């Protein structure tokens, strides 16, 4: 365990946003406090006015351990995005590691992250992850492959444990999307970023961490990717209406903000790709056996068409399969999407197609 040492400057704030998930928070918090580290790490828990026993649990932990833990309880549920902003504003560390309350950091992770931050001083650090299948993102023991948003269909292969400059918009967006999952986002705290974020159209997107990273990288385009995974992602039990709204509409809403300085064609492409992913989830919910609290009704269809009218034809193919999947057996759903992917020229990116010249 690490003791609270007031005389040390805090390098890293592990910021945990939470709401009504005390049991999950317990495992998350234990994964942090049971690791050896010194007083240059703080834990900041931002509670969106949970109605369960979250407050009592955190107070108990703070009383039992002489740890550098702070607890903020919002007066009301301010939503996920505003909770992230609250952590960014209130963090005392030079860096903030946003950690989802249903994820866990792996043994030795704090030490690895601190070493990389102190030695390389990147603006954004990707801690690497073990997905719900337990597979690392690292390929061939040295690369991370980032899904591409290039019109050519090429991907970006990034070398781990190496300092990177992301001066191009495509590279900046690719890195932001790689680190978009909350627990994969470690970002520098820069003056003025919080106030700039509040000017953006971000509410309800669930992606305000993307905006923070985008603005930070505009000021200092330096990135570092760890080779060894540092976080284990929690098992997603369902896709809520909010998460589907974010996938189908949130990306377009966020990346269209001019302050992020992404070209329109790039913002449109990443938004459309994520929308198609959302439709894929809706179509395959019978196969995935994961509850999806979202109905693709007439109102939502009209929203989709208006939102993505610039590429309505390829999107229409996905919408069609998502709609008819309700009456199709599983094997036909899979076969239909394979045909759609081929017809729309949206293919899986093979390793040999990755370009190393983008970064």
Over 90: is that where the pLDDT of 13 sits? Answer: yes
pLDDT confidence of residue 298: 84
Confidence bin at 288 (pLDDT 50/70/90): low
Instruction: Specify whether the CB–CB gap between 208 and 85 falls below 8 A.
Output: yes
> Do residue 152 and residue 31 come from a single domain?
yes
Mean pLDDT of the chain: 81
> 334-341, long-range: CB within 8 Å, 24+ apart, which pairs?
334/284, 334/287, 336/283, 337/280, 337/283, 337/284
Among 204, 232, 260, which residue terminates a domain? 232
Q: Which residues contact 262 (CB under 8 A, 6 or more apart)?
A: 169, 173, 214, 255
> Do residue 184 and residue 79 come from a single domain?
yes
> Do residue 226 and residue 146 come from a single domain?
yes
Q: In what order do the strands lie in the sheet with 231-232?
A: 104-105, 231-232, 129-130
Domain-located, residue 258: yes
pLDDT tens digits, 159-214: 788 888 888 888 898 889 889 888 999 999 999 998 999 899 888 888 999 999 99
Over 60: is that where the pLDDT of 352 sits? Answer: no
Over 70: is that where the pLDDT of 8 sits? Answer: no
Domain-located, residue 79: yes
pLDDT tens digits, 99-124: 999 999 999 999 999 999 999 999 99
Question: Could you tell me the residue range of the domain that residue 136 belongs to?
Answer: 12-232
Domain-located, residue 150: yes
pLDDT confidence of residue 121: 96
* Alpha-carbon dihedral angle through residues 162, 167, 173, 178, given to the nearest 10 degrees: 0
> Do residue 267 and residue 223 come from a single domain?
no
Q: Which residues contact 3 (CB under 8 A, 6 or more apart)?
A: 38, 39, 66, 67
Instruction: Specify whether the CB–CB gap between 39 and 4 falls below 8 A.
Output: yes
Domain-located, residue 152: yes
> Do residue 309 and residue 250 come from a single domain?
yes
**Of the candidates 101, 355, 356, which has an alpha carbon nearest to the alpha carbon of residue 233?**
101
> Do residue 118 and residue 247 come from a single domain?
no
Q: How far is CA 77 from the centre of its chain?
A: 21
Q: How far is 225 from 285, CA to CA, in rounded Å? A: 33
Domain-located, residue 356: no
Domain-located, residue 168: yes
Q: Specify the CATH number for the domain of residue 19.
A: 3.90.550.10
Counted domains in the chain: 2
> Do residue 269 and residue 299 come from a single domain?
yes
Write down the pTM of the prediction.
0.85
């Amino acid at each position: 365990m690490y003791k609270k040492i007031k005389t040390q400057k805090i390098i890293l704030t592990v910021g945990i946003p939470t709401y009504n998930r005390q049991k999950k928070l317990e495992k998350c918090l234990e994964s942090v406090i049971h690791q050896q580290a010194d007083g240059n790490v703080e834990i900041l828990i931002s509670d969106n006015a949970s109605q369960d026993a979250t407050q009592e649990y955190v107070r108990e932990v703070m009383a039992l351990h002489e740890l550098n833990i702070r607890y903020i309880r919002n007066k009301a549920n301010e939503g996920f995005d505003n909770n992230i902003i609250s952590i960014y504003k209130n963090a005392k560390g030079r860096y903030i590691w946003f950690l989802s309350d249903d994820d866990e950091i792996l043994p030795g992770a704090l030490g690895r992250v601190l070493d990389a931050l102190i030695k390389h001083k990147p603006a954004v650090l990707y801690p690497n992850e073990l997905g719900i299948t337990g597979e690392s993102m690292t390929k061939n023991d040295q690369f991370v492959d980032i899904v591409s948003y290039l019109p050519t269909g090429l991907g970006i292969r990034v070398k781990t444990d190496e300092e990177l400059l992301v001066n191009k918009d495509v590279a900046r967006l690719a890195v932001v999307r790689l680190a978009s999952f909350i627990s994969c986002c470690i970002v520098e705290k820069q003056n003025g970023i919080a106030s700039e974020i509040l000017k953006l159209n971000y509410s309800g997107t669930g992606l305000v961490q993307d905006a923070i990273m985008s603005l930070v990288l505009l000021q200092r385009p330096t990135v570092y990717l760890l080779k060894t995974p540092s976080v284990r992602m929690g098992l997603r039990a369902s896709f809520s209406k909010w998460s589907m709204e974010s996938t189908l509409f949130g990306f377009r809403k966020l990346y269209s903000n001019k302050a992020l300085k992404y070209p329109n064609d790039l913002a449109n492409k990443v938004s459309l790709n994520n929308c198609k992913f959302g439709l894929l989830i809706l179509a395959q919910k019978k196969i995935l056996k994961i509850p999806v609290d979202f109905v693709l009704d007439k109102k939502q269809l009209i929203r989709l068409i208006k939102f993505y009218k610039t590429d309505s034809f390829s999107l229409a193919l996905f919408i069609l399969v998502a709609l008819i999947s309700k009456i199709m057996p599983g094997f036909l759903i899979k076969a239909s999407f394979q045909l759609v992917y081929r017809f729309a020229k949206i293919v899986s990116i093979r390793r040999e197609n990755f370009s190393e010249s983008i970064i």
